[in-house]
Every structure is written in C-alpha cells, then in structure tokens.
Structure 1
Amino acid sequence: MEALLCKSLGDPTEPISLTSPISISRTHPIPKLNSPTSIRIRVKATSLNYANYLQILGKYQEKFPLPFVPGSDYSGVVDAIGNKVTKFKVGDKVCSFAATGSFAQFIVADENDLFLVPDGCDLLTAGALPVAYGTSHVALVHRAQLSPGQVLLVLGAAGGVGLSAVQIGKVCGAIVIAVARGAEKVQFLMSLGVDHVVDLSKDTITESVKEFLKARKLKGVDVLYDPVGGKPTKESMKLLKWGAKILVIGFASGEIPVVPVNIALVKNWTIHGLYWGSYKIHKPDVLEDSLKELLSWLARGLITLNISHTYRLSEANLAFAAIKERKAIGKVMIAFDDHSTVRSKI
C-alpha cells in the first residue's frame, strides 16, 4: 500500500526526496487484523494538524521510534472485520483517530474506537472532525463549561482548532471574539456570525477587544481559548475578568507564555491544560461522548467544516507548508481518491 514515512526528524515542508524527512513508500505492508474485534479501514481522507507537523520536527511532547507513519484523525470505509466485531460491517463509512498511522491507504482500529459517519456527511468532512473539533468540544464544553452569554476569546481563530472553537462557542450561545490576521480570514469569521474579530494586521488585541466590550457593556472575557501562546496570550490576559478560565491548547507561535500566578490568585482564574489525546487513556468515555455529539451536530448542520486545502499523499510536503505558513482557513486534508470525488458538500 501507499504510505507516508517519517524516516528522520526535520522539516516536512522540504521537497520529498531520498534525503528528506518524509518519503512515500508504495510497498508498505497492508496492516493485518490484530484481534477478533479489530477492523481494517481503507482510508479516504486524513487530516493534518499542527501536532503532526511538530511530531516530524521532533518537537512534540510524545516521541515515536523511527521510521513511523504520521497521521491522526481519518475517515474511510470498513474493508475487513474480525470474527467478533458486532458494531460494524464491511462497507460502513467510519471515522476515528490514532496516535500515528493515518497517512496510509489502510489502518487497523478496534471497533470500540470507531464512529459511524452519519448519512449526509461526506468522508472528507468526517476526516477533518475528530482532533480539531474534539479538542475544542472537550475544552469548551467539558472543561470550561461554557454557558450562554459568556464571553469567549479565541486566539488563532482561522486555524483548524481555532475555527472549531469559534463554531462550538456559537453553538453554546457564547459571545465570541475571534483573533486572526488578514482581511480574508476576518471576512470568513464574520460570515460565521462571530460577534467581533480582531485583525492583527491592523489592531492590537487589547485595544480592539476593550472597545468592543465597552460598546456592549461587558465586564471582560470569561474564557480564553489559546492555541497560540507568546505575545497574544500576554495581551489577552489583560482582558480576563474575575473568575475567568484559561484553556491552554498549544503554542503555534513557538513561544510558551508565562502566566502570572499572583494575578491568577487575585482574580481567581482557573488554568486548564488540555492535551486531548491523553483522554483516550484517562477518560475515554469523555472522548466517545464528545465525538458522538459532534457528529450529531454535523449531521444537523449546527457546525460546518471548512476544508481549506486538499492534497494527495505525494503532495504531503505542500500540505505541511500550508500549515507552517498559516495559509489555511480551517482544515488541511490529504485525500486518497481523486479530489473531485471527495470534495466536501458541507
């Protein structure tokens, strides 16, 4: 089968060659069923997340022995099932996630780790859902318990997880403030019904948000959703009200921010570290309930997924470049069929 191999740590945006960190193998062994309840899926689409980029760079919190097949969330069609599988049959459309391995034509998973894709949802869209939307759903609904009328500030709002946080915030009834850079991203966010957008190419977070809060007679930000870190985090903390919650999602800026715990004490802030993947080990029921609700929301049209770029596996370096250079508005995907057959209808 065709698979993307990470042979050495380095920049995955380099042109694919014999010496680049990533390469295409066309003779990688097709994985075999490894238990009576295992299922083999023919992958149709797999998502690129910033974590995948960091994994290949060697800068992610988890390290994987070389060589490995990167990739996490995916969608596809059931190809083969173990003799004790009861929940799925060959031909079912499914989606899921894994620590590694989805940048390949086939992947094996246990039936308890798979989710049936609802009717009306195409596979490209379903493959974009689990990690980004799962992260934001667990963060906002489970951890922050975001409620109607609260003010949510989303940094990096045009990226994969940022855009998911914006949409989930609106479903929860929050007043959503989004931070992005550039007119195209601002226009797209406004089309989603965001209450206020800070364009970093023109304004500072502090002044723009303060002006909005004053106009709406709001006291401050209740929940900060932060996948960025660095200077934007430092600015945003000036806007948090008493009792606010900070959701630490990641550090796309490359700079880990310092939270002044003396101010956190005085203002009774709660800081939530959110490593979504660890829920698979510690609270798998939370992940299962979260993804089931998200798939329901998707089927009902409460959330939509914007697929910004779609590439073939042989173009993986270009896909990673779209992530690295922040070209995407929403999700970057790799599809294993002709693009015309897997374009999102949502």
Structure 2
Amino acid sequence: MKAVVCKAWGLPDSLEVQELPDLVAGPGQVVIDVKAAGVNFPDVLIIEGKYQVRPELPFTPGSEISGVIKAVGAGVAGIKIGDQVIAFTAQGGFAQQVVAQAQAVMPMPPGMAFDIAAAITLTYGTSHHAIVDRAALMPGETMLVLGAAGGVGLAAIDIGKALGARVIAAASTDDKLAVCREHGADATINYTTENLREAIKAATGGNGPDVIYDPVGGAYTEAAFRAIGWRGRYLVVGFANGEIPKLPLNLMLLKGASLIGVFWGEFAKREPKANMAAMRQLLGWLSEGKIRPRISGRYALEDTARALNDMAARKVTGKVVIVP
C-alpha cells in the first residue's frame, strides 16, 4: 500500500510517498481502506515538529479518515469487514490503509459521502467540545469566532447556530466573510481593514460577546479579550497565527471572565464515551441539515504536500481532503 511518510521534521515538500507493506490488525484493532482523509492545520505543525505532541520518526501524518473495514483484530465486536466507518487516529491517515483502535471507530450514517465523513471528526469534534462542553453556550447568547472561514471556524459557526446563538464571524478577507455568511453568521468583521476591538463593540451594542472562539492567537487575542462581555468565556483553541499571545490577568478580573483551554485530542483520549456522545449529536445535526461541512478541495495522495502548503498559506476555506 502507498503512504505519505515524514522522515525528518520539515516543510510539506520534504514528505515522501512510499510503497509500504499492507497493515495487520492487532488485538482490539481494525485495518481500514482509506477513502478520504481530512487535512487540518495541526498536520502542518506536526510534520515541522511544532505541535504539542511529537510522533516518533518516521511516521505517516493524518488523523481523521473515512473508509471501509478491511480486517478485524482479535477481541473486536460490532465491527465487520466491509463496514463503512469514520475513525480518528493519532497518525497514519494519509495512506491507502490505516490501523485504528476499535473504540475510535464509528459507523458512517447511510448515504453519507466519504469526503463529508472525513471532514467532521477533528474540526467539528474540536468545536463541539469547545462550545458545548467547555463554554456551555446557551440559546440567545452571542459568540464571536476568529479565523471563522477555516475548518474549525466554520464548524463553530454551524454549531453556534444549531444551539440558537447569535454568531459574529471575523476573518481576513471579504471573500472569506462571504463564506461565513453562507454558513449562517449573523454579522461579520474583516480584521485586516477594521479595528477589531471597536468592531466587536459595534456588533454587540457595546455589551461584548458571551463567548469568544479563538483558533488564531497572535495580536488578535488581546484586542478580542478586551471587548469580551461580563462573565464572558474565552476559548483558547489554537495558534494558527504562529504566535502564542500573552494576556494581562487583570483583564479577566475586570470582566469576571474565564480563559478556557480546548484540547480535543486529549479529551477524546481521556473521555472516549463523552466524545462518542458528542459525535453522535453531531451526526444527528448533520442528518437534520443543521451543520454543513464545506469541502473546498480534494487532493490525490501524491498531492498531499500541496494540500498542506495551501493550508499553511491560508488558502483553504472549510476543509480539504486527501483521496487515496
């Protein structure tokens, strides 16, 4: 089988596509023929050695996939060869086959396309964990989403609207904001042409948002936090900007506000039952049309480096997938 291999920390162009032996399912594991694999910003950081977790070299990147069960290991119940499934794996997704723990596999709903199935695990899982579990966003509240046209950003808009909240989307271009409005954003802010703090005040009547969803970091963080509402909850999701910001703690004191960390991968590992319950809710919303993953690009396995370069260059709206 073919797989993308990272042999040394570096940029996407250093990745290689290699022919490797077919995989074998160990106890409690399954082998999946990969039909689609979601590409995420952490994949760019992982191959550069800049992510919170460093796999041992060499490894195959890619953590969310959809496909068909090829083999089942000892002790696995409720999964059989030929089943169409969604899986989250620590690594290995950018390949024709992947090994997954059986507990990390769930059935695809009937009629779901493989690319949509591969686009829901990490981005929607992260946003659901952040907004529902960590921030407890309530109907009628207001949420600001930074980096709103990216994968987790659009997922956050979808989830916020599904919960009955008012959503303000902030992004870097008018084209990206148009995509956010298509996904239901009630108001938009272009933070390259507008003063972010003042624009947030204007969009909230001076009250500030109840929840701020921030996968960007950098200079936008303090400006956004200074505009947060009383008892606001600020979700620290990631640092796509590349800069980890520092905040004066008096800002939390003055607003009675909370700074909340979001690490979905660790949540999924430590609380698998809660994570599966969240995924079931997401799949239910998907079937009801309340959430709509946006697939903006599909790449062959041999074009994985280009997909990651496009992600790093902020050329991606919504999700892109690798189709082996």
TM-score by length of 2: 0.97
Are residues 1:4 and 2:11 paired?
Answer: no
Q: Match of 1:342?
A: none
> Paired residue for 2:222, among 234, 258, 263?
234
Are residues 1:323 and 2:320 paired?
Answer: no
Are residues 1:188 and 2:179 paired?
Answer: yes
Q: Match of 1:34?
A: 26
1:151/1:176 contact within 8 Å kept: yes
State the secondary structure of the residue aligned to 1:146: coil
> Paired residue for 1:140, among 116, 131, 139?
131
Q: Distance in 1 between matches of 2:107 and 2:247?
A: 41
1:115/1:292 contact within 8 Å kept: no
Greater shift after overlay, 131-140 or 117-126?
117-126
State the secondary structure of the residue aligned to 1:198: strand
Q: Which amino acid aligns with 1:30?
A: D
1:45-85 deviations in Å (ceiling 9; x for gaps): 00111111101011011111111111101100111223543
In structure 2, runs of 5+ residues without a counterpart are none
2:208/2:229 contact within 8 Å kept: yes
1:198/1:204 contact within 8 Å kept: no
> What's the offset of the Cα at 1:201?
3.7
Q: Which amino acid aligns with 2:21?
A: P
> Paired residue for 1:165, among 156, 162, 184?
156
> What's the offset of the Cα at 1:110?
2.7
> Paired residue for 2:266, among 275, 278, 289?
278
> What's the offset of the Cα at 1:147?
0.4
Greater shift after overlay, 152-161 or 284-293?
284-293
Greater shift after overlay, 279-288 or 310-319?
279-288
Q: For this pair of structures, how many residues does the alignment match?
A: 324
Q: Which amino acid aligns with 1:136?
A: S
1:301-329 deviations in Å (ceiling 9; x for gaps): 11111011110110111101110111111
Q: Match of 1:339?
A: none
Q: Match of 1:209?
A: 200
Q: Distance in 2 between matches of 1:266 and 1:319?
A: 43
Q: Distance in 2 between matches of 1:110 and 1:68?
A: 17
State the secondary structure of the residue aligned to 2:130: helix
Are residues 1:258 and 2:251 paired?
Answer: no
State the secondary structure of the residue aligned to 2:219: helix
Are residues 1:200 and 2:191 paired?
Answer: yes
Q: Which amino acid aligns with 2:18?
A: S
> What's the offset of the Cα at 1:260?
1.6
Are residues 1:104 and 2:95 paired?
Answer: yes
> What's the offset of the Cα at 1:213?
1.7
> Paired residue for 1:25, among 18, 21, 43?
18
> Paired residue for 2:232, among 244, 252, 255?
244
1:20-56 deviations in Å (ceiling 9; x for gaps): 2x10002x12210101x32211000001111111010
Question: RMSD in angstroms over aligned alpha carbons?
Answer: 1.3
1:69-111 deviations in Å (ceiling 9; x for gaps): 1110110011122354331222111001111111111112232
TM-score by length of 1: 0.91
Percent identity of paired positions between Structure 1 and Structure 2: 40
State the secondary structure of the residue aligned to 1:287: helix
Q: Distance in 1 between matches of 2:255 and 2:196?
A: 20
Are residues 1:222 and 2:210 paired?
Answer: yes
2:209/2:229 contact within 8 Å kept: yes
2:307/2:320 contact within 8 Å kept: yes
In structure 1, runs of 5+ residues without a counterpart are 15-19, 337-346
2:65/2:118 contact within 8 Å kept: yes
Q: Distance in 2 between matches of 1:188 and 1:136?
A: 18
Q: Which amino acid aligns with 2:6?
A: C
Q: Which amino acid aligns with 2:308?
A: F
State the secondary structure of the residue aligned to 2:232: strand
> What's the offset of the Cα at 1:280?
2.9
State the secondary structure of the residue aligned to 1:258: coil
> Paired residue for 1:287, among 260, 270, 275?
275
